[in-house]
Amino acid sequence: MAAPEQDTIAAIATAAGRGSLAGLRLSGPGAFASLSRLLPKDRKLSSFLPRRSSLTWLCDLSGNRLDQVTVICYPAPHSYTGEDVVEIFCHGGNLAPALILEQLCAAGCRLAEPGEFTRRAVFHHKLDLIQAESIAEIVAAESPAHLQHVLSHLEGAFSRQVRELRQRLLHSCALLELGLDFSEEDVEFADRAQLHSELTQLEVMITRLLAGFERGQALREGWKLAIIGKPNVGKSSLMNALLRHDRVIVSPIPGTTRDTVEERIRLGGHLFRLIDTAGIRQHGDALEQIGIARSRRAAQEADIIVFVTDGAAAADHEDEDIAAACRARAASGSLLGILHISNKADLPASPQAFQFEAGGVATIRTSATTGAGIEALENALVGLVSAHAAADKSGVGYVNLRQRLCLEKARAALHAAEKSLHDNLSAEFIAVDLREVIYQLGALIGEVTSEDILGEIFANFCIGK
């Protein structure tokens, strides 16, 4: 990784707009000198104790007061970036922080680029690349569950697993390459049977880490929840009841909903994407059939299916057809669960109402009109996601797209090494593939990487981070 320029950067680290406080951050070899140039003549830099908050005025280069602020100085290497860092907290609003930043630049700083503070932290080994990416995720998190997983990355849980994998491979590769030095003596330092067992274990670990990509998508964007059923069973009313406002048009006319309607909601610390769908039936005009096709696709892509039937009406073959599709979807193994909602509990129950005959499918009696059963539905949804999270033993939670690509390349190289081992090829062929795995795991945590990749990662950060 290339060294950052040896200049001092500055940025406003808080969101623009009116507020009680605004924060600015400086980092670099000239951070303290730039601060000193804005201090009143009777205030010396030596009066600021390291990592202690100090009250002072800041002035422009002509000596005119800008604002009364608190300042914290962090001498290198004991700072976020590993360089000399200054944090300034002034009064909020747009004017005061902008004037201070302008004068800091006049005093020797330059404006920071997006993510440049964190990039310097990575260069000075204060953070690895996985931890750095987690900081951007913390800012973007929209649910407590997402935040908790991101914090585990910042704490280093994911990085430790990657380093363990990499260290084990380095040891195996070293033994193989040591044997190459003594090839004329026909000596092998790596036991091939033991190496095969080791590579098999490593592949299982990498595959488990890769499974975190889908979890990551769900944590960031919300668990996809498709509400499906025949027309007029109360799907749109149920969605409105969950959202606590009238988001979807409700009408007794069959086929009112012609397209999927999506909204996000937080329940029990988890983010869900509610998808209301067109009623599924065999008949209907061409436009309605397009909506029905989208309903079926939403059910195929969902993490959770909420199958709604009319508890006050007799079941028919269309209910059973939808139930059969739900069973087939569950058999794919990628579904968190199915909830059967027997709606319209405010009306007399029909003795011929549909009963979902499938193991593990809960039936909840609801009334979207009165709100009965809605809390039970919410609890069941949270229970499905929580049970899924509890079953995850990887300790990682999720991986992002860049991390997924590194892991997939590592697994492909590991497969190649296992094949070379199976085909009893010489050690140099196996060692080449293992070196590729080691490289990809190094790229995952930032031990090896390129400027293009770093630029792409940090370009998505906030300025001041």
Q: List, in sequence order, every residue forming a beta bridge with 70; answer none if it has no partner.
A: 55, 89
Amino acid at 50: P
Say which DSSP state 362 is in.
E
Q: Among 170, 176, 174, which residue's Cα sits nearest to residue 188? A: 176
What is the C-alpha to C-alpha distance for residues 406 and 347, in angstroms, rounded to an integer?
A: 56
What's the token pair of residue 418? 């296992």
Q: Among 390, 383, 397, which residue's Cα sits nearest to residue 272? A: 383
Q: Quickly count: other Cβ atoms within 10 Å of residue 421's Cβ.
A: 21
In tens digits, what is the pLDDT along the chain, a chain of 465 residues?
555 567 999 999 998 888 889 999 999 999 999 999 999 998 998 899 999 999 999 999 999 999 999 999 999 999 999 999 999 999 999 999 999 999 999 999 999 999 999 999 999 999 998 898 888 888 887 778 778 878 888 888 888 888 888 888 888 777 776 655 555 545 455 577 788 888 888 888 888 888 777 677 777 778 888 888 888 888 888 888 888 877 655 555 555 555 567 888 888 888 898 888 776 766 665 666 676 777 778 778 888 888 888 888 888 888 888 888 888 888 877 788 889 989 888 898 888 888 887 666 778 898 888 889 899 999 999 988 888 776 665 555 677 888 889 999 999 998 998 888 888 877 778 888 888 888 998 988 888 766 766 776 777 778 777
Distances (CA, A) of 443 to 81, 115, 211, 395, 460: 20, 19, 19, 20, 19
Alpha helices, DSSP H, located in 286-337? 286-301, 317-331
What is the C-alpha to C-alpha distance for residues 103 and 58, in angstroms, rounded to an integer?
A: 10
Cis peptide before 351 (omega within 30 of 0): no
What's the token pair of residue 8? 């001092």
pTM (predicted TM-score): 0.72
